Amino acid sequence: MHRISGKVAGSVAALAAVALLSACGGNDSTASQTPTLSTSVAAKSTTTTPPVVIEPPAEAPSSTAPETSASAEEPTPLPQTSAAAPATGKDKAFLDELAKNGITPGDQTTAVTTATYICSTKGTGASDADVATFVAAMAGTDPAFDASKMDVNKAAQIYIAAANSTYC
């Protein structure tokens, strides 16, 4: 009998939560009033449902594990990936310029992608502050970047200057 009243109480609580949350519709994302706290007593439900009895089957079917064949397929190993190819041309010039200014990127691909981003913002009307914000985020995510050695905003300025002088 206790299980049934617990289920009923849980169902009442779930329905109350659904009703409460559905009443909060609308697109207003700011609080327009200060909520007031009040206490209310929940009405006790007197409805009962008959207990559900599940009888086990008279004879349980025998379950056997499927036979595994000795020639089961082995998963193919992933191909070995080689290290990134050494940078050439303007990529190398950009990376060398970063190195001259104290930045040695741990991931050259991300550094070159950052240079490509810097060059792609030319003529788009993006402000220098917006570009610097994104470049600072890109530079700060480099695994080799150490914020204790250089401020991320200074690193962003070095990236931008290096890209403008060697990559764009």
- Mean pLDDT (whole number) for 41-69: 58
Q: Residues of 52-89 as b/e, b for ≥16 C-beta within 10 angstroms?
A: eeeeeeeeeeeeeeeeeeeeeeeeeeeeeeeeeeebee
Average pLDDT over residues 103-128: 90
Among 130, 85, 82, residue whose Cα is nearest residue 112: 85
Residue 47, SS3?
coil
Chain-centre distance for alpha carbon 159: 26
Q: What is the pTM of this model?
A: 0.49
Residue 125: band (very low, low, confident or very high) from pLDDT cuts 50, 70, 90:
confident
pLDDT at 128 over 50: yes
